[in-house]
Structure 1
Amino acid sequence: MSPSTPPGDRPLRADARENIRLILRTAREVFADRGYEVSIEEVARRSGLGMGTIYRHFPNKSALVERVAIDVMTETSAEIERALAEEPDPWAAFTRVMRQMAQVRSSQMFPVSRRRTTEPGPELMAARAALLVDLDGLVTRAQDAGGLRKDVNVFDLVLMLNSIPARIPDDETAGPSADLAGRHLGVLLDGLRSPGEETLPAPAADRRDLDQFFRTRFGF
């Protein structure tokens, strides 16, 4: 059951559904601006809703953060499906998804705070597992078509994407900051093109490496 689902799966009233959408939309904006360590009071302030309304749907900050993370991962899975259907070749689909994920990463939207104090729920873990399956399919398609080098795997990619720097807030007096994420990704994509000039050390990253990374960095 998601944090926004009432006990017994009773249908929510229209105003309650709208409040949840507003809370989640505002939370994403706040987390993108300030990171996941910002207080839930800031979400209430920006949304114009009372703390009681937020806590009615999300009993604590961890529940709200987790719901945002689930939405981000679910949206990324949907983007993979769209990219494979719409792009002319698997490499174009692959780079499209990588750019979307890099934008998510640079906006501090993925996936949860390293200071979480509760165990992640099954819905979060299921969304993460589904995303890994979808990414693996994307990787395989790009490799089979000859665009992506054969010696990388989905675990390598997730770990690489998490090295992309977070967005630096714009300075109103100095203008927009450099697109560090875009530059970082450009170099990364160039290095991922087949056949690749550099021999990569063995063994490659595996699920154990990825799980250890998420436990130490994000707490799950």
Structure 2
Amino acid sequence: MNSSTPPSPPTDGNPLPADGRALRADARQNAEQILQVAQEVFADLGYKASIAEVARRSGLGMGTIYRHFPNKAVLVERIAIKVMRESLIEVRRALADGSDSWNGFTRVVRHMMGLRSSQLFPVSRGRATEPGPELAGIRTELLAALQELVEVTQRAGVLRDDVNAFDVVLMLNSIPSRLPTEPDDVVTADLADRFLGVLLDGLRAPGSEELALPPPGRREIDLFFRATHGL
């Protein structure tokens, strides 16, 4: 390879060092640990959670975290890339299965609902820069695969034929996140799962309610993520 050729972007959601060299095994492990812990912290506390809390839970120093993720906006974007990649794997698995279209579709929807209900796309309106090309690329890839799954499920006659992937994404994001609790609280009602049951029932073919036109498209999705999640 020519020495001037830029390094390929990472495929597992982890950032490369500033000079483009591959991460050492211990550094890669630290980056993965930070991402996982930050995902849990933001799920518990929302985007207002501090990087200091991520450091505390991960057992790593602030300096280590900032070496991998120079600010909170970058960390949030890496989490978004990570969970979109995980969702893409689930969609492709459902497409490859083909034995039960409705089961594959609902499995994907429940997976994505799990991410949504855990607040894995924290609000970050304060970011100073536009999302990077890797996030834009994985979002495009995920939406295309999800639309393919929608069409496959529609051809099987089990999903109403007047919805698209953009409908599904926007509907999932309209379902409330899990209820915030105090440390000793016990929440018995799983609201997200209840509302998801109603949503899935409404998506089943043939569907008796006529939907307003026009349907949402990529523009609406981009506006939604930018306004709501800063992504």
Pick the TM interval, shorter chain: over 0.9
In structure 2, how many angstroms separate the alpha carbons of the residues matched to 1:160 and 1:184? 10
SS at match of 1:18: helix
The corresponding residue for 2:95 is: 84
SS at match of 2:174: coil
2:123 and 2:228 in contact (8 A); partners too: no
The corresponding residue for 1:134 is: 145
Alignment of 1:158-169 (within 5 A): 158-169=169-180
In structure 2, how many angstroms separate the alpha carbons of the residues matched to 1:71 and 1:147? 30
1:170 and 1:177 in contact (8 A); partners too: no
SS at match of 1:7: coil
Residue 147 of structure 1 and its aligned partner are, at CA, apart by 0.8
Residue 151 of structure 1 and its aligned partner are, at CA, apart by 0.5
In structure 2, how many angstroms separate the alpha carbons of the residues matched to 1:62 and 1:141? 36
| CA-to-aligned-CA distance 1:38-64 (integer Å, 9 cap, x gap) | 111110011111100001111111111
The corresponding residue for 2:45 is: 34
The corresponding residue for 1:22 is: 33
| CA-to-aligned-CA distance 1:172-193 (integer Å, 9 cap, x gap) | 6552331110011100000000
Amino acid at match of 2:46: G
Over 3 Å counting, the alpha-carbon distance change for 1:38 and 1:60 in structure 2 is same
TM-score (normalised: structure 2): 0.89
Alignment of 1:6-155 (within 5 A): 6-86=17-97, 88-110=99-121, 113-155=124-166
| CA-to-aligned-CA distance 1:152-191 (integer Å, 9 cap, x gap) | 1111111111101111145565523311100111000000
SS at match of 2:128: coil
TM-score (normalised: structure 1): 0.93
Tell me the C-alpha RMSD between the 2 structures.
1.8
Aligned partner of 2:187 among 176, 180, 200: 176
The corresponding residue for 2:212 is: 201
Residue 71 of structure 1 and its aligned partner are, at CA, apart by 0.3
Q: Which sits farther off after the overlay, 2-11 or 35-44?
A: 2-11
Q: Which sits farther off after the overlay, 83-92 or 67-76?
A: 83-92
In structure 1, how many angstroms separate the alpha carbons of the residues matched to 2:156 and 2:125? 37
Over 3 Å counting, the alpha-carbon distance change for 1:111 and 1:30 in structure 2 is closer
**Runs of 4 or more off by more than 4 Å in structure 1?**
170-174
| CA-to-aligned-CA distance 1:85-119 (integer Å, 9 cap, x gap) | 34631111110000111111000013652332321
Unaligned segments of structure 2, at least 5 residues: 1-8
In structure 1, how many angstroms separate the alpha carbons of the residues matched to 2:188 and 2:115? 17
Q: Across the two proteins, how many residue pairs are aligned to each other?
A: 220
Unaligned segments of structure 1, at least 5 residues: none
2:159 and 2:205 in contact (8 A); partners too: yes
Residue 25 of structure 1 and its aligned partner are, at CA, apart by 1.2
Over 3 Å counting, the alpha-carbon distance change for 1:45 and 1:161 in structure 2 is same
